[in-house]
Amino acid sequence: MRSFFFIDGATDAMPRSDLGRRSISVCRTGSGALALVLAALLTGCGPAEQPPAQVPELVKVLAVRFEPVSRAISLTGTVAARVESDLSFRVAGRVARRNVDVSDHVKAGDVLATLETQEQESDVESAEATLRSAEATLTQAETNFARQRRLFEGGFITRGVFDNAQEQLRTSQGSADAARADLATARDQLSFTELKADVDGIITARTIETGQVVAAAQTAFSLAQDGQRDAIFDIYEALLASAPPSDGVVVRLGSDPSVEAKAVVREVSPTFDTTTGTVRVKMTLIDPPAAMSLGAAVTGMGLSAPRNLVSLPWTALGAGTSGPTVWVVDPATKAVTQRPIEIDRYRTGEILVGKGLSDGDLVVTAGGQLLREGQIVTLIEPGAAS
């Protein structure tokens, strides 16, 4: 039997005896093709091409420098008198007459209000009667003592009678003195029914009305004394950490900012108002204009004590594990380092740095978003402000 094979795309009938030679030829041909394929594969597995060298990041930097920076402080307050006192009657009674009202200007000695005086006048009359009786008794005791002394000197009476007359005289003198004191007290009580201004000033408050019964020492009027004026401000305690210079505060009238006067800090309250969270500060106005009347609303503008700070644009600010940071460039190696900073305060478009930097440090102000520690950078306009 013959076997037939299809080899090399041709049909050929060959005897089995030729099969061996043909098979060897085919195998050699296949081995050559396989070698070519393997060579191609091995060629593809050769060493990879090296990536291109990384181009340094372009950044903009600023050479920092510490400079004195003052903080502008704006306060709102009112004008008040340096001395303001509460006036009251020394005795109780019913108000008979009220002579002044709020905003009236009074002078020392002016009668502001009076009480009904029937009771006090009766006390004065009683004290006067008592005094007249005591003086009559005293006159009689003096006459008796003079007579007893002449008799004692002439030897007509004993020593005991004379001493008794002398004792009666002394008792009468004491009674008369007490009566005079009682009369003076009664007259004082009568005078206390008139409430008078003790100094020149302006009435700023009134709490009584005609016909009202008032108690002794109950406030009737508040009097702002003429003289120096203060601007009173209630400010937050944090501002006291950097108090404004005593000669650098300008106070302007709220209704007309063109009206202004200088002021100096006179008094800082030692207590903290827990209700408002503020501390009261009083500033003396220097030669205030007439328009700055009592109670007028004013604004105070001042500068805090200067501090050495570095001003950086907000684009330089970054964040680290411990807080705010900036990128600082080493001038020699051009490598960047992330450095923590302490921010004193924020302003529109910039930050003021208090600690963490030194004069001359190159801080990245633009292009620092994708930087990493130790990265080499290329500087754009080093030392120029962004």
Rounded distance, CA 173 to CA 292, Å?
Answer: 61
Q: What is the mean pLDDT of residues 293-306?
A: 85
Rounded distance, CA 368 to CA 361, Å?
Answer: 15
**DSSP structural state of residue 48:** P
Rounded distance, CA 311 to CA 86, Å?
Answer: 52
Angle of helix 118-153 relative to helix 159-191, nearest 10 degrees? 160
Rounded distance, CA 241 to CA 244, Å?
Answer: 10
Q: Are the CB atoms for 58 and 364 separated by under 8 Å?
A: no
pLDDT of residue 42: 46
pLDDT of residue 144: 94
- In the chain, the amino acid numbered 199 is V
- In the chain, the amino acid numbered 364 is V
Q: Are the CB atoms for 123 and 190 separated by under 8 Å?
A: yes
pLDDT of residue 247: 59
Q: Which residue has the tokens 């007290």?
A: 185
What is the chain's mean pLDDT, rounded?
83
pLDDT of residue 47: 55
What's the pTM value of the predicted model, to 2 decimals? 0.59
pLDDT of residue 377: 83
Higher pLDDT, 35 or 346: 346
pLDDT of residue 232: 94
Give residue-wise pLDDT tens across range 318-343.
Answer: 888 888 988 898 888 888 888 898 88
Q: What is the mean pLDDT of residues 166-183?
A: 96
Q: Are the CB atoms for 116 and 94 separated by under 8 Å?
A: yes
Give residue-wise pLDDT tens across range 50-78.
Answer: 655 566 778 888 888 888 887 778 889 99
Strands (E), 190-296: 194-196, 201-206, 213-214, 219-225, 229-236, 249-253, 260-268, 278-286
User: Where does the pLDDT of residue 13 fall: very low under 50, low under 70, confident under 90, or very high at 90 and above?
Assistant: very low
Rounded distance, CA 325 to CA 346, Å?
Answer: 14
Ranges 33-37, 79-83, 94-98, 340-344: which has the least confidence = 33-37
Give residue-wise pLDDT tens across range 282-295.
Answer: 999 999 998 898 88
Parallel, antiparallel, or unpaired: how do β-strands 57-63 and 377-380 relate? parallel
Per residue, the 3-state secondary structure of 355-367, as one string, reads ECCCCCCEEEEEC
Q: Are the CB atoms for 66 and 311 separated by under 8 Å?
A: no
Q: What is the mean pLDDT of residues 258-280?
A: 89
Percent of the chain with pLDDT over 90: 45
pLDDT of residue 142: 95
